[in-house]
Structure 1
Amino acid sequence: MRVRGDYIKLMVLAIAIIGLYGFSDHRSKARTINKIYIKFLGDNALYLTEGAVNKLLMKNYGSLKNRPKEEVALNTIEQLVESNPMVKSAQVYFTVNGDLITEIVQRRPIGRVEGATKFYLDNQGRRMPLSKNHSARVPIITGKITGKSLEDAYVILEYINKDDFLRMNVIGIHIEDEGKYQLKFRMENFVVNLGGVKNLNEKFKNFMAFYAKAAKDKTLEKYAVVSLEFDNQVVCTKI
């Protein structure tokens, strides 16, 4: 009899748990969206505004506030937000209070192309449109813009961004031709003929040695061109 009594207790407990789960699930599905929040993650939240995201959601879904949660497909909203060319990634979720949160990571430009068409080159080597909300302070890329030369420009920019001195001082990359790249510096009158993108580490190592010595000797203003095109050499042309 005791076994039978224990069995009945277990059955009652199981039914109670199922009932509570079903009630909770029903209440969750019946709950409506309380508030809507747009959050930009990281320190690069400059090119897309909260208003623009809200406008995008409104255009495609109408007003989401007070709408039943079960009517909202979070994956679909994420895909919509990520379709914006300023967005790198997005995550959309509900809080326990019924708030709809959209977290956005924006793309990061590392160069700006000034050619027949104008656009940014982002930190993944992809084209990124200019923004009316913010103008990035990044090196300007000019000259003969091709697919290959942009790939090389991206390699150069990636290297520059890993070095504090270069990142602060290189303001431009001029493409004379594929495999012939010229750097412009913020505070100096000379230009640096880099050549191609092979052996960048060796080229910049030689350049930094030259720069340190010329700065110490106070002769930087005497040079018009500094060439790194030749193996393990820095060839300078005076003004």
Structure 2
Amino acid sequence: MKNINWNNIRLVVILCVVVFLYAFTGKRNEGRKMTEADIEFTGNENFITKEKVNNLLIQSYGAVTGIQKVDLDLSNVEKILNENPMVEKAEVYATVDGKLKAVITQRKPVARIFEGSQSYYLDNRGGKMPLSDNETARVPLVTGDIEKADAKKMHKLLAYIYNDDFLNKNIIGLTVSPVGNMILRSRGDDYDIVFGKPINIEKKFENYKAFLQDAAKDTLIKNYKTINLKFTQQVVCTKK
């Protein structure tokens, strides 16, 4: 009679118990009903509200509460949220305690464009974004002959302003001239900043900041009508 290897038997029994518990837990988890929707925004933007997101979830299922986890089509929910023009990215998942979690990243406007009778935002990726009923973005207002501008280069200029703390706080407007030149306006100042074509952006703004540091030493800046940054080697000013 062969000796029974009790260690192997114990191992098989333990393995069977683990598989059973795993299957039982998985089945129980699939049958769990959702208790609520938990909506989280990743940034400070407020172009879409939690109520609006919740309404989009309701459109998918009628009501979130009471739905079994197994009946959730998370990819479809994400698709519906991502189709909203205020949303850059949505991530949706179900938590172990029965919540439908939606993490929303909203689009980030870098400028507001006035083109004919239309008004819309330009976001940080260069896409058109509708205005929001819930919040107005504090971004530069872009007017003039928009169609004469190089769209990609203008967006690069606006994105640079958006990502620079000083410029973001001080540049409040941009006008496109009939030949595609950019004229900027600074908060609280009477002069125009003649930027020219949206090229050599970093160098031009370096010159502008250096000029402002020197101008801060006296009060002559109040007498200027234009500050011309078109020439990368120098800043040319015109008095009133």
Query: Please, what TM-score do these two structures have when normalized by structure 1?
Result: 0.92
- Distance in 1, matches of 2:12 and 2:219, equals 90
Asked if 1:165 corresponds to 2:151, the answer is no
Between the aligned partners of 2:72 and 2:40, the Cα distance in structure 1 is 19
Q: In the aligned structure 1, how far is the partner of 2:11 from the partner of 2:211?
A: 83
- The percent identity for this pair of structures is 37
Q: Deviations over 1:23-59 (max 9, x none)?
A: 1122111111122111111222x10001111111212
Report what 1:215 is aligned to: 216
- 1:37 aligned counterpart, secondary structure: strand
Which runs of structure 2 are paired with 1:138-217 in the superposition (5 Å)?
A: 138-146=139-147, 148-177=149-178, 179-217=180-218
What residue in structure 1 maps to residue 89 of structure 2?
89
- Give the distance between the partners of 2:148 and 2:28, measured in 1 at CA: 55
Residue identity opposite 2:64 in structure 1: L
Residues 128-171 of structure 1 show CA distances to partners (whole Å, capped at 9, x for unaligned) of 11100000111001111238533222111222234332221110
Contact 2:148 2:179 in 1 (8 A): no
**2: distance between equivalents of 1:162 and 1:32?**
44
The residue matched to 1:155 in structure 2 has which SS?
helix
> Deviating runs (4+, > 6 A) in structure 1?
none
Residues in 2 aligned to 1:178 and 1:75: alpha-carbon distance in whole angstroms: 47
What is the Cα deviation at residue 12 of structure 1?
Answer: 2.6
Counterpart in 2 of 1:51? Answer: 51
How far apart are residue 97 of structure 1 and its match?
Answer: 0.8
Contact kept, 8 Å, 2:34 with 2:98, in 1: the verdict is: yes
Q: How far apart, CA to CA, are the structure 1 residues paired with 2:20 and 2:164?
A: 62
Q: Displacement, 1:4?
A: 4.4
Bigger CA drift: 195-204 or 49-58? Answer: 195-204
Alpha-carbon contact 2:149-2:181 (below 8 Å) kept: no
Of stretches 157-166 and 97-106 in structure 1, the one that deviates more from structure 2 is: 157-166
Name stretches of at least 5 consecutive residues in structure 2 with no aligned partner.
none
Confirm whether residue 77 of structure 1 aligns to residue 77 of structure 2.
Answer: yes
What secondary structure is seen at the aligned counterpart in 1 of 2:177?
A: strand
Any idea what SS the aligned residue of 1:141 has?
Answer: strand
1-structure distance, mates of 2:33, 2:164 = 50
Give the letter for the 1:197 counterpart.
Answer: P
Gaps of 5+ in 1: none
Tell me: CA distance 1:59–1:163, structure 2 relative to 1, closer, same or farther (3 Å). closer
Amino acid paired to 2:82? E
Number of aligned residue pairs: 238
Confirm or deny that 1:34 pairs with 2:35: yes
The Cα shift of 1:178 comes to: 5.3
Partners of 1:70 and 1:8 in 2: how far apart?
35
Instruction: State the 1:9 CA deviation.
Output: 3.1
